[in-house]
Amino acid sequence: MAEQSVQATGPVATATLIGHEAAELAFLETAAAHRMPHAWLLSGPRGIGKMTLAYRMARCLLSRGVAGGDLFGGPGSLQMPPESDLFRRILAGGHGDLRLIERIVNPTTKKLRTEIAVDQIRGLSRFFSLTGAEGGWRIAIIDGAEEMNPNAANALLKLLEEPPEHCLLLLVSHGPGRLLPTIRSRCRQLILRPLKEADAIAVLAQQLPDLDQHECLGLVRLAEGSPGRAVAMAAEGGLQTYGELLALVGDLPELDYAAVHALGDRLARANNEGAYRVWVDLLRLWLSRLARGGAGLDQMSDAVTGEVALASRLTMAVGLDRWVELWEKIGALAMRAERVNLDRKQVVLNVFMALQSTARH
């Protein structure tokens, strides 16, 4: 019988986590020693598994009860079978002792709010002032904690000051620098790093089993150790777009203006706003990879064939500072274009002229 759970993807649906063994061990040791802090802050770049880890921590505690008890999956593991009742209830949002706070859709404007509002954190305060539904821990996950507005952050501080017993806050953030220092200092911090290439490939292969090996490697390199980003790029056709971009700039300072115009026309079409954004992001990514690779900051490997060779040619010809400057300039241009609704084709043409002029120096 084909009953579908509503949300079948994303971290809440992900049973396994690769590449964060040390962080998991730190959590397990804390749990085993009954020294659970009131709050954890899981930080690190987007798409590397922070929320997946948060859900694993939550499932672990919710399955054990407050007295501890045996860990499922044996010691040293947060693994829980996805077919278990608890996993399913959490997946459906139907666990009375777990709350997720994230930006929500404004009911009047129907748009996703730009921040986490104070009423959401107040709701959390109510949640913590009632006894548990299933008799164990009460846990709240705040996804995008840096997106709390000042009132929300202050309301959260009240909870962090003297939290009730057996209540746990899991703050997840890719911009922990934007959190109030007083919030950071009240959390036990777990800093998650981008995944090693092999780990990232393993995660990506798990999530997109139909991907061929070559594509998988390209995406992982482009996403710089973030399987989440790699998945998003795969959905947007990012690797192909990146290849096309590199083909266009491959002969810099020479440019095939007919091809540039064709690209501009395509991205300017009414229904192509998404493709345009992807393209701008990838262009900036290329420049930043070029600059970091050229500066020897990163050991650069080809995301698409010829990338490293092109980067070394361009950074030998023109000083690194000029490329960094260009990266900034294009970022500013893209932002301005967004604000004043500049013609997208015009933006594309401007970008290529800037590229050419930088490469000519």
Q: Which stretch binds other proteins (CB under 8 A): 30-38, 45-53, 74-82, 99-107?
A: 99-107
Site string for other proteins, 70-89 (x = CB under 8 A): ---------------x--xx
Figure out which of the listed residues 72, 77, 134, 243 binds other proteins, where binding follows CB under 8 A: 134
Site string for other proteins, 306-345 (x = CB under 8 A): ----------------------------------------
Site membership for other proteins, residue 131 (CB under 8 A) = yes
Site membership for other proteins, residue 110 (CB under 8 A) = no
Residue closer to other proteins, measured from CB, 182 or 301: 182
Residue closer to other proteins, measured from CB, 64 or 122: 122
What's the rounded Cα separation, in Å, for the pair 165 and 91?
25
Smallest CA-to-CA distance from 147 within 99, 98, 101 is with 101
Site membership for other proteins, residue 4 (CB under 8 A) = yes
Site membership for other proteins, residue 107 (CB under 8 A) = yes
Subset of residues 144 to 163 that bind other proteins, contact rule: CB under 8 A: 154-155, 157-159, 161-162
Site membership for other proteins, residue 119 (CB under 8 A) = no
50 near 44, Cβ under 8 Å?
yes
Q: Please give the helix or strand (H or E) that residue 277 lies within, else none.
A: helix 273-294
Neighbouring-strand partners of residue 143: 172
136 near 66, Cβ under 8 Å?
yes
Edge-first strand order for the sheet with 167-173 is 98-101, 138-143, 167-173, 39-43, 188-191
Residue closer to other proteins, measured from CB, 66 or 308: 66
Pairing relation of β-strands 138-143 and 98-101?
A: parallel
Backbone angles phi, psi at 206, to 5 degrees: -70, -40
155 near 122, Cβ under 8 Å?
yes
CB of 32 to other proteins, least distance (A): 21
CA dihedral 220→9→46→211, nearest 10 degrees, is 10
What's the rounded Cα separation, in Å, for the pair 45 and 229?
10
Site membership for other proteins, residue 125 (CB under 8 A) = yes
Figure out which of the listed residues 1, 33, 258, 316 binds other proteins, where binding follows CB under 8 A: 1
Site membership for other proteins, residue 106 (CB under 8 A) = no
Residue ranges binding other proteins (CB under 8 A): 1-6, 85, 88-89, 91-96, 104-105, 107, 122, 125-126, 128-135, 154-155, 157-159, 161-162, 164, 182
